[in-house]
Amino acid sequence: MAITKTDFMRGMQCRKMLWLDKHKPGLRVIPPEVQARLDAGNDFGDQAMGMFGPYEEMTVYLPGKRIPDKKAMLANTQDALARGVEVICEAAFSNYNNYCAVDILRKTEKGHDFYEVKNAPEVHEQFIRDAGFQYYIITRSGLKIDRIFIVIHGQEEENPFVPVDVTTQAKGYYHWINDHIWDLNRMQKEADEVQAEPGEQCSNPYECWYYGYCHGEKNRDDTEQLSCVPLDGTASETGKGTA
């Protein structure tokens, strides 16, 4: 695959972050509190799948791994669309190998709506960009999208799923995404490590998992570097639990 939703969001925060993801992922260090938030996001996303009643989930993992089988998910999604399934979860789409998996895709009279689930009390701009990337990939793959929603965590715990319509804002990112996706795709394949001075992007909007490396750990010996905690597929592009 070329650029996934997660790749794009991380690459736009910091180009070096994306390059390290592809070339030196063993240097990632995920603090326990961050992993706990990722796990909580996964749980919230799983619970949200049933917010519209019966659904079909497209998730398939590679044998013996917790890494999504993207080709199988793409095939499953096309089959579900052909059968007219009303609600598809983790619906996978690809355009020139750029890829996304949508939390909830819901059939409507005008086409389809989709819902990006975030375990947060309010909508942040990075969530809208995230949805904008999905809109870009889905529409270029040939599916018509009507409305776009961010599902946030409301105050009612018995029914915490609150959809917020972000259609206009998310669709407005189409050309911005097109302006950057091809450059990120080329950059991530470069042999030489991308250079970037530490700055605001190290922690905004999310703290980088290579923070220690870029702030001095690259001068440590190999033993210390190997003590970094590997990602182990946690943030692979499944559409669930991404920051």
Flag whether pLDDT at 237 surpasses 80: no
Residue 80, C-beta contacts closer than 8 angstroms, at least 6 positions apart:
56, 58, 88, 91
Q: Of 101-105, 209-213, 216-220, where does mean pLDDT reach its minimum?
A: 216-220
Flag whether pLDDT at 238 surpasses 60: no
Segment 219-234 shows an average pLDDT of 36
Question: Burial letters for 69-91: b for 16+ Cβ neighbours within 10 Å, e otherwise?
Answer: bbeebbebbbebbeeebebbbbb
Domain ranges of the chain: 5-14+31-196
Q: Is 139 exposed, middle or buried (0-12, 13-18, 19+ CB in 10 A)?
A: middle
pLDDT in tens, 93-121: 999 999 999 999 999 999 999 999 999 99
**C-alpha closest to that of 181 among 215, 140, 150:** 140
pLDDT in tens, 4-19: 999 999 999 999 999 9
pTM: 0.87
pLDDT reported for residue 157: 87
Q: Which CATH number fits domain 5-14+31-196: 3.30.43, 1.10.3470, 2.60.40, 3.90.320?
A: 3.90.320
